[in-house]
Chains A and B, each alone.
Chain A
Amino acid sequence: GIQVEQSPPDLILQEGANSTLRCNFSDSVNNLQWFHQNPWGQLINLFYIPSGTKQNGRLSATTVATERYSLLYISSSQTTDSGVYFCANKLIFGTGTRLQVFP
């Protein structure tokens, strides 16, 4: 079946550091989204990015549909960035990257 793989599974950063999260998917891209699940469980939309590059403040994302991957960049990380980051393609979610940012 369709698979969505995320890496790394866990990431620990000090405040101010930059990071790159990766999402590989086995099928063609359709409705690729990145979400942040905060400690209270709410899934927050970050990017809807079936192709190309988008930026929103300290976050940006790039999807290369021909190579079936997407990247999420977090710059100058803050403690409020902590949580789990999910990507989803064709309604299939990856297992997430758990990010912890320490002051």
Chain B
Amino acid sequence: EAGVVQSPRYKIIEKKQPVAFWCNPISGHNTLYWYLQNLGQGPELLIRYENEEAVDDSQLPKDRFSAERLKGVDSTLKIQPAELGDSAVYLCASSFSSGEQYFGPGTRLTVT
């Protein structure tokens, strides 16, 4: 069984440019999560989806970050415009009905 898939694995952009990350969850998992992980810290939740609905996005900086999960399967996280402080690893996870989470390999973003 395939795990959580994320792309790209690495991305380097200049500040003020847009960037998008893609996540495909484990088949059958209806809950999808986006986390941000800074160096030396634990992951921090950005947004949680139950099917197509964003049920917890209180930590998502809505002035520059957006996310969508249009068909309740894969999801896209976007940053526009990117700032130097956005450099981090962006992790996607999925679970069945808010149960045990499984994480993808992450996207390492560097903003120069």
Contact = CB atoms under 8 A, between A and B. Distances in A.
Interface stretch (A13-21, A57-65, A67-75, A92-100): A92-100
Contacts of B108: 41
Interface residues of A, number: 18
A43 B101 CA distance: 10
Contacts of B48: 91
Contacts of A41: 89, 105-106, 108
Given A33-B101, A43-B91, A95 B41 contact: yes
Contacts of A43: 43, 91, 93, 103
A28 interface: no
Contacts of B80: none
Given A41-B108, A93-B44, A94-B42, 9 more contacts: A31-B100, A31-B101, A43-B43, A48-B99, A88-B42, A91-B33, A91-B56, A93-B42, A96-B41
Contacts of B106: 41-42
B87 to A, nearest CB: 14
A45 interface: yes
A14 B89 CA distance: 30
Contacts of A42: 103, 105-106
